[in-house]
Amino acid sequence: MERNEYSGQFFNNHSDGQGIALPGFQGGEAGFGSPSIGFGGHFENDFGGTITPQGVGFTITGGQVTAMDQVFGTSTFSLNLPSNATFSVNATANTITETLAGTTSTETILYSAEPTNTSLYQVSQETTTITNPTTTTASGFTKGYAFTIANGQVTAMQEVFSNLTFSATENQQISPTTVFSVNGTTVTETSIHGNTIETTNFTQPTGSTLYAVASESSTIVLPGTATTLLSVNPNDRADFTIGTSGNVTQVQAVSSNGVVTTITPSSNVTFSQISPGFVLETATVGTNSYYTVFYQGSSTAPYTEIAHGVGTTVDLVGVKAQLAEIPASLLSLI
């Protein structure tokens, strides 16, 4: 479940009014077998066009950040330094941490240097921590979350809203790539989509039967030197029957509610196993080729789309390196 837009606050805090897009953002996800546009340190589209580099540059004087710029290829745009921002430079780890203290929350943004260009940074993590989590709004209404917990496991989730005359409960769809953990009065939800791992901590305020959001964090799996970018699509899942020679003999689409439907691929679409646990779908449209990579994180899980792009060449080493950055509890769901 997505309650925020990654780096939305980064744009609000640093925008100079030019409407510039954000670095490190992974673009829209494709449907079954269809590629789309992705971002992750460079721009790549379905027509093979590339603009590089893309990211954030810092001016550091005496160990302190004195200016910020957004870089797109050879173009540089000045970014605003918020008055409530403080910066911490870690020269050893090649990271910069920005902290913005607000009245109701504190935001922390971690920037990590590019492996091949240490003067260029990507947003690798953004965390918002609520100062006083509550289920009571400024208007006195009630808004919070309810969880169905059985044997220490979350099996259902609802969003609840009520005022003096109205009450509503909305069931929240739980993504196939979402895992929950329960610790006393705290529930933690962790999910992955695109190249973003989202973690939300819910806490139960004293006297409330509902849970409030205590913190939200988005961690970006940066591509490093990989040329195939991670782009997990929880809604594009499949089961494959694979022959002894690695050929795919049957394809079944798996819906979000687990319904399995056998499909017959079009004549311009092929499937093949490129490594144990990895299946490559290739589609040819006219003179252009597109690929989708599916991965199975455990023997009991369906295959999930984890990457897509133009052409037929997949940087499998780079894909595996990005998968290695995903927590095991999430990886087993993919």
3-state secondary structure the chain: CCCCCCCHHHHHHHCCCCCCCCCCCCCCCCCCCCCCCEECCCEECCCCCEECCEEEEEEEECCEEEEEEEEECCEEEEECCCCCEEEEEECCCCEEEEEEECCCEEEEEEEEEECCEEEEEEEEEEEEEECCCCCECCCCCEEEEEEEEECCEEEEEEEEEECCCCEEEEECCCCCCEEEEEECCEEEEEEEEECEEEEEEEECCCCCCCEEEEEEEEEECCCCCCCCCCCEEEEEEEEEEECCCCEEEEEEEECCCCCEEEECCCCCEEEEEEECCEEEEEEEECCEEEEEEEECCCCCCCEEEEEEEECCCCCHHHHHHHHCCCCHHHHCCC
Domain match, 188 and 268 both = no
Residues 31 and 113 in one domain: yes
Residues 116 and 148 in one domain: no
Specify whether 105 is located in the same domain as 167. Answer: no
Residue 323: φ, ψ to 5° = -60, -30
- Quote the pLDDT of residue 72: 86
Mean pLDDT in residue range 124-149: 95
Burial class (CB in 10 A: 0-12, 13-18, 19+), 28: exposed
Whether 205 and 164 map to the same domain: the answer is yes
Q: Is residue 34 located within the same domain as residue 98?
A: yes
pLDDT band at 306 (very low <50, low <70, confident <90, very high): very high
- Closest residue by Cα to residue 36 from 310, 245, 332: 310
Token duo for residue 7: 């780096």
Tokens 């160990």 found at? 63
Tell me if 322 is assigned to some domain: yes
114 and 154 both lie in a single domain: no
Q: Report pLDDT digits (tens) over 106-119.
A: 999 999 999 888 88
Q: Say if CB 201 and CB 180 are below 8 A apart.
A: no
Tell me the pTM: 0.82
Q: Is residue 325 part of a domain?
A: yes
User: Is the domain of 17 the same as that of 91?
Assistant: yes
| Residue 125 sits in the same domain as residue 172 | no
Q: Kindly state whether residue 31 falls inside one of the protein's structural domains.
A: yes
Please report which confidence band the pLDDT of residue 73 belongs to, taking 50, 70 and 90 as the band edges. confident
Nearest one of 24, 117, 22 to 77, comparing CA atoms: 22
Within a domain: residue 227?
A: no
Instruction: Report the percentage of the chain scoring pLDDT > 70.
Output: 84
Q: Are residues 181 and 274 in the same domain?
A: no
Calculate the alpha carbon distances from 144 to 51, 172, 199, 216 in Å: 43, 12, 17, 15
The total number of structural domains that make up the chain: 3
**Residue 226 domain-assigned?**
no
- Residue that is last in its domain, among 210, 241, 269: 210
State the pLDDT at residue 14.
66
Domain limits at 256? 233-331
pLDDT of 97 strictly over 50: yes
pLDDT classification of 323: cutoffs 50, 70, 90: very high
Lowest mean pLDDT among 47-61, 88-102, 122-136, 303-317: 47-61
Banded model confidence at residue 52, pLDDT cuts 50, 70, 90: low
Residue 219 domain flag = no
- Of 246 and 91, more confident: 91
On whether residue 137 sits in a domain, the answer given is no
- For 169-211, write each residue's pLDDT tens digit: 999 999 999 999 999 999 999 999 999 999 999 999 999 999 9
**Together in a domain, 21 and 114:** yes
Q: How far are the Cα atoms of 40, 89, 124, 137, 191 from residue 196, in angstroms, in the given order? A: 11, 24, 9, 29, 8
Answer yes or no: do 111 and 29 share one domain. yes
